[in-house]
Structure 1
Amino acid sequence: MKIKPEIRDRILNAARELVAEGVETPTNDQVREKMGKGSLTHISPVMREWKEQRKTEIAAALEMPAELKRVVETSLAQIWTAASKLANAGIEKLREDAQSKIDTAEQELVEALSEVSRLEAEIESLKSKSLECEQKGEVVEKQLSKLTTENSALHARVDDRSIQVENLKSELKEARADNKALQKELIAIAKGKNSKSKNN
Structure 2
Amino acid sequence: MAEKITKELVFDLADQLVAQGIDPTNLKIREMNESRGSLSSITPHLKAWREQRSAEAVESLPDMPEERLLAVLRPVWAELARESQAILKAEQATFDRERAQLKAEAESYMGEIDRQADEVERLQAELADTRKQLQQQSMDLSTLTERADQQAQRIDNLQQDKLAVDKQAQELRSELAAEHKHGEQLQVQLAAVNKQNNELAGDLKAAHEQATGLNAQLKTSQELVAETKQQLTTEKQRGAELGQQCNQQESHHSHNQCQT
Question: Normalized against structure 1, the TM-score is what?
Answer: 0.30
Higher relative contact order (Cα pairs below 8 Å, separated by 6+ residues): 1
Question: Normalized against structure 2, the TM-score is what?
Answer: 0.24
Q: Indicate the structure (1 or 2) with the bigger Cα radius of gyration.
A: 2
